[in-house]
Amino acid sequence: MTAAQWLPVFVVLSSLLPGIVIFLLREEAYWARTLLNLTGAVLKLALVAVMAVGVFQGQTYEARFPLFAGQDLALHAAPLSLLFVVLSSVLWLVTTLYAIGYLESSPHRSRFFGFFSLCVSATTGIAMAANLLSFVLFYEMLTLATYPLVVHRGTPEALRAGRVYLGYTLAGGALLLLGAIWLTALAGPVNFAEAGSLANVPPSARGVLPVIFVLLIAGLGVKASLVPLHSWLPIAMIAPAPVSALLHAVAVVKAGAFGIVRVVYDVFGVRLSAELGLLGPLAVLASLTILYGSIMALRQTDLKRRLAFSTISQVSYIVLGTSIVGAFATTGGLVHIVHQGIMKITLFFCAGNFAETVGITDVRRMHGLGRRMPLTAAAFTVAALGMIGIPPLAGFISKWYLGLGALEGGSPWAIVILLVSTLLNAAYFLPIVNDMWFRSRPEPWDERLPRGRLETRWLLLAPPVVMAVLVAAAGILAEVPMSPLEWSRLITGLEYGR
């Protein structure tokens, strides 16, 4: 194979190989572990940048390795793949820096960072999978790599959360595998294709396609936290803040939503999905999940649980955009893969800072945090306003295109869903912002970390501040070439500036 063909493989290996070496390091090997982590993260980002420029210029990157019965392990870098891979690479680097600061005195750091690297390897493999078999293999690798991160603290609560997480995700993986095997038996090896790969399925076999579609969506819907398959996600919030950030912003829930995009557009194809009447029920399920997640978020007093239910709601914007036929809705759903990721990771970094620095985890005790931790509170505020959809932040761009798509696709009811969700977003975020900035602290702070010139450790402070800047930049610079919005337009074929 040529160097270009090997590039997707190198992207996966850039985190896989450091992760394997990190497992072998002693806990005291701080600098060696840090060097491996950061070298792998920077190398991955550099490789992805080269690949993104090449794809933008029309170059093809694909690697195939024969497995069995005409099936290949295949990695392919296309515009859709790169949207997810770039997000994964950027957020892995930022989360690695945050995790180094967060776990400074924690035990089992080599185990944590080893599985952390395997998790990112699986995520990039999911993004670049060129066929259904490769997707399933990396999807299950992600389940196995994230379980040790969920149970990292080893407490009874963490172990219980891990059992729930593993039960849900393994069951979802079994459904996905069953659907993949059944579809392969009907159509042969299922390669992802731009207009769908089922054009050659005989008419006599099309009667079972809706059943296979349900199996695939149910398997993916577990990780995407579609109602009623969502219960594992709030429970998994017992994990450390870097894990929560990874689960919500780039790895698990995003992998499920990305898989649904793949099934609708690259396996069934949007035309066949519409002909079989599959998109309407999927849109209804996404809408119910959006409203349910927002309502439940409003009821939570623990900050991380509130953010978890917010994720359940926000990730279904991606599914809703996928379910409405039309370039605008699809663009809105795809760009929200990135926008939700950068907004949500900012919020979880801030939640981790509040807990680690002054012991605040309850939304009812956040009075005055803007004065004690102004930079962290400012980052939280920017991301929260972005989630609500305040212009010109990233979330506004997503909702604008979803709204345009609802009109274009003849689904004005979806605008009502977006409006109600936006009001609920405001109801569970704005009181927190108000308390942080406009209410005074009634009691002394529970100082968990030594106070220095900064409000907390710089490795905890820099990541949310940088990500908050990206939340603003993604909205303000949405029209810049190779921005998340422009890249999503490239995928959907939507004319620039239309």
| pLDDT of 114 strictly over 80 | yes
Strand pairing class (71-77; 61-68): antiparallel
Residues 283-309: pLDDT tens digits? Answer: 999 999 999 999 999 999 999 999 999
pLDDT at 416: 95
Lowest mean pLDDT among 143-147, 204-208, 307-311: 204-208
Kindly indicate the confidence band of residue 497, based on its pLDDT and cuts at 50, 70 and 90.
very low
**Rounded average pLDDT over 104-109:** 77
Lowest mean pLDDT among 102-106, 161-165, 230-234, 242-246: 102-106
Cα 420 → chain centroid: 23
| pLDDT of 181 strictly over 80 | yes
pLDDT at 496: 37
Residues 409-453: pLDDT tens digits? Answer: 888 999 999 999 999 999 999 999 999 999 988 777 777 676 777
| pLDDT of 354 strictly over 70 | yes
Kindly indicate the confidence band of residue 3, based on its pLDDT and cuts at 50, 70 and 90.
low
Kindly indicate the confidence band of residue 25, based on its pLDDT and cuts at 50, 70 and 90.
confident
Distance CA 39, CA 483 (A): 25
| pLDDT of 498 strictly over 60 | no
pLDDT at 495: 44
**Rounded average pLDDT over 156-162:** 89
pLDDT at 176: 96
